[in-house]
Structure 1
Amino acid sequence: MDKTVNLIKLSVGSESVETLIAWQASKRAQGPDGLPRHITRMWPKREAEILNGGSIYWVVKGALQCRQRIIRLDEVIGEDGIRRCAIVLDPEVVRTQSSLKRPFQGWRYLPVSDAPPDLPKGRASEDPLPVEMNRALAEIGVL
């Protein structure tokens, strides 16, 4: 039986989940098929586990806040001739329970057992907690 693994990545430059969504709606962030994608230099070694239902979990402003299902991994050759990996994403952004994350480079594997739960559909449209309150709650172990 194949296992599933997720990826976790900093959304550099995003001020909020809404700015991440807006960026992905731009032509620059989409592949030829119109789906959002994130291009990375390294090809994940655990490709089969990622493509077995894995998602990319986005860290926005120091907090893991949402995820997107990974549809496939495409090879992209840059203008510099270097092979890269395009992580092709489902356009639906699912809000998750927030948790603080320290900065890191690139992406990391995130075991399913360590992934935060999705927020209920009704809560996805609620105003998020202020960042300071979210951090304070996480620090005392409430989130």
Structure 2
Amino acid sequence: MTRRKKSENSGVIHLIKLSVGSETVDSLIDWQATKRAQGPDGLPRHITRMWPKRESEILNGGSIYWVVKGVMQCRQRILRLDEVIGQDGIRRCAIVLDREVIRTQSSLKRPFQGWRYLKVEDAPPDLPKGRESEEALPVELNRALAEIGVL
């Protein structure tokens, strides 16, 4: 009998996305609190041109992991994918997110465009309870610690 990897067994896949324009996790949270970043239901969402082909795996418990200033630092549970038709008539995907932003252990990421799939076993763990409310480290220090594998 062969053993399957955790992601194959669980039927869950995550997304990873650069948080363009965010300086910190707090600035991402502030942006998502604006009306412009919310859908008609008041939930934060990210609109993208491409519809994920692995929709069922994403909706089976997946999260979007945010990369802020080159460091993966937090995640949000993906609630659903909504179709949005822009003023240009083009169909887009609104990734509807839970309001809760969960800080994760830091992980360096090179720049990329769009979003990518992230296997469960490659996702950084959430910060332990009690540490999520600690004051964030400066971006440069956070990056340096992640480079040497401390965070």
TM-score bracket for this pair, using the shorter chain length: over 0.9
1:123 aligns with 2:131: yes
Task: Report the number of matched residues.
Answer: 143
Question: Aligned ranges for residues 1-143 of structure 1 at < 5 Å?
Answer: 3-143=11-151
Residue type of the alignment partner of 1:23? W
Q: Deviation of residue 120 (structure 1)? A: 1.6
In 1: Cα distance, 2:10 partner to 2:54 partner: 11
In 2: Cα distance, 1:55 partner to 1:32 partner: 21
Identity of matched residues, %: 83
Cα deviation code 1:41-79 (max 9, x no counterpart): 000000000000000000001100000000000000000
Secondary structure of 1:138's aligned partner = helix
Secondary structure of 1:49's aligned partner = helix
Gaps of 5+ in 2: 1-8
Gaps of 5+ in 1: none
Q: Deviation of residue 2 (structure 1)? A: 5.9
After superposition, the CA RMSD in angstroms is 1.1
Residue type of the alignment partner of 2:132? A
Q: TM-score, normalised by structure 1?
A: 0.96
